[in-house]
Amino acid sequence: MQAAQVIMVTGAHAAALAVKSARVDVVPGYPITPQTSIMEALAAMVENDELDARFIPVEGEHSALVAAVAASAAGARVFTATSANGLLYMHEVLHMASGGRLPVVMCNVNRGIFAPWTLWADHQDSFAQRDTGWIQYHCSSNQEVFNTILQAFRVAEQVNIPVMVNFDGFAISHCLMPLTVPPQEDIDRFLPPYQPEWRLDPAHPSSFSNVTNAPEYAVFRQMLSRDILASIPLVKQAAQEYKDITGMWDGDTIDTYRLEDAEVVALAVNSMAAELRLSIDILREQGIKAGLLRPRLILPFPAEDIMEALPRNAQVMVLDRNYNFGHNGGILASELKSALFGRRSDITVKNRVMGIGGLDLTRRFMAAEIRAMMDE
Amino acid sequence: MLEIRINGFGGQGSVTLSHLLAQAALENGEHGQALPFFGVERRGAPVRAAVRMSPTTIFAHSQCDLPDYVVVMSEKLVEAAVSEGISESGTVIVNAPHPIAVENHPTWQVDADTIAREAGLISGDGPLINIPLFGAVCRVLNIPPRIVEQTILNKWPNNNVKRNLGAAGKAYYTVTRISM
């Protein structure tokens, strides 16, 4: 049996290696900073015959996702990636993929949105696609990006719903870290070949996503809503089985740190949530019983798991790297409050927006912010 | 966890230097992280990169605002680099042709320009100083010479091997503690 390999790679390269390990069939791609290095790596793998897939260069992100939708409908395992305005340009096609029940997996490398231009990370891009019917993971390390892409393909193909795997531009995508690559035979055991229940086939002509009357349309939408919620146990099962096979664990719908006895709970996603572990240690040294709750899944929102994990009477400090325009604060806080309303009156929720456009979020800064929020 | 910030000018090879250091940490049995700051890149503009080394998993992803070591790739940047932030007892490692001491901080100096030129490590932009600087920083961090060699050989197995190893070794043994 082969042993796992540890190599030094960037988050973007880790993503490309996971896609290769998933043995994808089709990769449509269009470059946008900071995602471009994923597509460059995949294009090189196809060119060097390391990856037996069709790479389709296209003229824009809208076409990239249309090509992904078409290939998926033809029964292929498909991956693409984008960032920021590229994701916004895909907006219409995001609905086409979810409504068409096509298990495309896409990385969105989080980047602030134009205008004005910024290259660096915040989470406005992915959170702005909350209502498109995609399952959304948010990852906090290179290793988690690798692990999650494999879990994403599995879940997507079980429920026939596309999955977006999000991680921060530069802080993860261009960050060189050790990556454990499990033996291919283990990955193949975790993620068997895609066997679509149905596919477009010229030998047996059929059509899909045709015009519907209200009674059919409403049923399709109702099934999509139901099946997105039904993905939660499958997300947990994928995380558990991935752990059983590879020994690696990033959490399932949520990840926690020093949470059991916490009175003050920080809640955040992506790379800032990794750094927050160090802020929690700082606060603990100052005598504050602090803990971390990091949702890996933000859609479907893991309300039950969060509710179960939150200690009694906790003050939850939601650190949002996005704006919920029209409200005072961010979207994560709004999601959390909506889950808690009428169910956990013992919990207090406080919220700050920070790190917009890549503003550096240090462990000391976030510990100080949490202290200041305690006094509010 | 040990934190290092590299301050240099675009074109001096700070990204590669950060990658070499993170790789050396892995070769040395630790965890390593290289996190270059990518701006709107221009040759000659000030650039920086964060590097972390730790016996355990690294969770930090910020830019090293108060590092334990600041590596300054040009003596023109010493003041700006230190004023960007350094831990109270942080050490400064400067590439300069003559001894330089930074007030209140232990300072090491190495003449990476001359070492690179003498080793024949020169590109169109000037001497390739990141390779000697890699050797010098490893010496200051007490990373063994065999790790320096292994890291360079892994990165460039067939390319300029003798020159790279010569320049890194020369810097390793000539980097000098100037103060404290």
Nearest chain A alpha carbon to B37: A170
Contacts of A313 (CB under 8 A, 6+ apart): A263, A346, A347
- For residues A304 and B114, what is the distance between their CA atoms, to the nearest angstrom? 63
Chain A residues within an 8 Å CB radius of B22? 8, 176-177
Token look-up 């003229």 returns: A59
Tell me: do A323 and A235 sit in the same domain: no
Band (A241; pLDDT cuts 50, 70, 90): very high
- For residues A131 and A366, what is the distance between their CA atoms, to the nearest angstrom? 29
Domain CATH number, residue A49: 3.40.50.970
In a domain, A199, yes or no: no
In a domain, A270, yes or no: yes
Residues of B contacting chain A (CB within 8 angstroms): 18-19, 22-23, 26, 31-40, 58-63, 65-66
In a domain, A357, yes or no: yes
Residues of A contacting chain B (CB within 8 angstroms): 6, 8, 34, 119, 141, 168, 170-172, 174-178, 271-272, 274-275, 277-278, 360-364
Residue A334 clears pLDDT 60, i.e. is over it: yes
- Domain extent, residue A332, equals 255-374
Q: Does the model's ipTM exceed the 0.90 cut? A: yes
* Chain-chain contact of B60 with A174 (C-beta, under 8 angstroms): no
Contacts of B122 (CB under 8 A, 6+ apart): B116, B128
Chain A residues within an 8 Å CB radius of B58? 177
- For residues A274 and A95, what is the distance between their CA atoms, to the nearest angstrom? 31
In a domain, A265, yes or no: yes
* Chain-chain contact of A176 with B19 (C-beta, under 8 angstroms): yes
Band (A248; pLDDT cuts 50, 70, 90): very high
Tell me: do A357 and A273 sit in the same domain: yes
**Rounded mean pLDDT, A295-312:** 98
Please tell me the predicted confidence (pLDDT) of residue A208.
Answer: 84
Please tell me the predicted confidence (pLDDT) of residue A2.
Answer: 73
Of A175, A272, A361, the CB nearest to B35: A175
Tell me: do A163 and A56 sit in the same domain: yes
**Helix (H), strand (E) at residue A9:** strand A5-9
Tell me: do A337 and A229 sit in the same domain: no
In a domain, A201, yes or no: no
Residue A207 clears pLDDT 80, i.e. is over it: yes
Tell me: do A171 and A288 sit in the same domain: no
Cβ atoms of A270 and A110 within 8 Å: the answer is: yes
**Rounded mean pLDDT, B139-154:** 98
Residue B69 clears pLDDT 80, i.e. is over it: yes
In a domain, A297, yes or no: yes
| Average pLDDT in chain B | 95
Domains annotated on chain B, with CATH = 2-179 (3.40.920.10)
Tell me the longest C-alpha to C-alpha distance in chain A.
Answer: 69
* Chain-chain contact of B18 with A6 (C-beta, under 8 angstroms): no
Tell me: do A366 and A279 sit in the same domain: yes
- For residues B11 and A230, what is the distance between their CA atoms, to the nearest angstrom? 52
Please tell me the predicted confidence (pLDDT) of residue B38.
Answer: 86
Query: Among A184, A215, A246, which residue terminates a domain?
Result: A246
Domain CATH number, residue A359: 3.40.50.920
Tell me: do A183 and A316 sit in the same domain: no
* Chain-chain contact of B61 with A363 (C-beta, under 8 angstroms): no
The two three-digit tokens of residue A207, written as one number: 């059509």
* Chain-chain contact of B62 with A168 (C-beta, under 8 angstroms): no
Tell me: do A239 and A146 sit in the same domain: yes
In a domain, A200, yes or no: no
Q: Express each pLDDT in A68-127 by its tens digit.
A: 999 999 999 999 999 999 999 999 999 999 999 999 999 999 999 999 999 999 999 999
Tell me: do A216 and A303 sit in the same domain: no
Please tell me the predicted confidence (pLDDT) of residue B47.
Answer: 92
In a domain, A80, yes or no: yes
3-state DSSP of chain B: CEEEEEEEECCCCHHHHHHHHHHHHHHCCCEEEEEECCCCCCCCCEEEEEEEEECCCCCCCCCCCCCCEEEECCHHHHHHHHHCCCCCCCEEEEECCCCCCCCCCCEEEECHHHHHHHHCCEECCEECCHHHHHHHHHHHCCCCHHHHHHHHHHHCCCCCHHHHHHHHHHHHHHCEEEEC
Task: Give the CA dihedral A138, A143, A148, A154, nearest 10 degrees.
Answer: 180
How many domains is chain A partitioned into structurally? 2
Range scoring the smallest mean pLDDT among A48-57, A207-216, B130-139: A207-216
Tell me: do A127 and A275 sit in the same domain: no
Token look-up 């390990």 returns: A21
**Rounded mean pLDDT, A288-308:** 98
DSSP at A59:
S
Q: Please calculate the CA angle B144-B146-B151 and round it to the nearest 5 degrees.
A: 105
| Average pLDDT in chain A | 97
Please tell me the predicted confidence (pLDDT) of residue A4.
Answer: 86
DSSP at A322:
S
Q: Express each pLDDT in B109-131 by its tens digit.
A: 999 999 999 999 998 878 999 99
* Chain-chain contact of A168 with B18 (C-beta, under 8 angstroms): no
Residue B180 clears pLDDT 70, i.e. is over it: no
- What is the percent of chain B where pLDDT is above 90? 90
Of A8, A170, A275, the CB nearest to B32: A8
Please tell me the predicted confidence (pLDDT) of residue B41.
Answer: 67
- Compute the nearest-CA separation of B53 from chain A (Å): 10
Tell me: do A227 and A261 sit in the same domain: no
Residue B45 clears pLDDT 70, i.e. is over it: yes
Task: Give the CA dihedral A356, A374, A252, B34, nearest 10 degrees.
Answer: 50
What are the b/e assignments for A19-47, b being 16+ CB within 10 Å?
A: bbbbbbbbbbbbbbbbbbbbbebbbebbe
Q: Is A361 exposed, middle or buried (0-12, 13-18, 19+ CB in 10 A)?
A: buried
Please tell me the predicted confidence (pLDDT) of residue B44.
Answer: 82
Q: Express each pLDDT in A182-196 by its tens digit.
A: 999 999 999 999 999
Chain A residues within an 8 Å CB radius of B66? 364
Q: Is A67 exposed, middle or buried (0-12, 13-18, 19+ CB in 10 A)?
A: buried
Band (A3; pLDDT cuts 50, 70, 90): confident
Chain A residues within an 8 Å CB radius of B36? 174
Residue A1 clears pLDDT 60, i.e. is over it: no
**Rounded mean pLDDT, A42-67:** 98
Of A34, A141, A275, the CB nearest to B62: A275
Tell me: do A261 and A238 sit in the same domain: no
Query: Among A246, A274, A308, which residue terminates a domain?
Result: A246
- For residues B58 and A4, what is the distance between their CA atoms, to the nearest angstrom? 20
- Compute the nearest-CA separation of B93 from chain A (Å): 22
Residue B29 clears pLDDT 70, i.e. is over it: yes
Contacts of B76 (CB under 8 A, 6+ apart): none
- Compute the nearest-CA separation of B99 from chain A (Å): 33
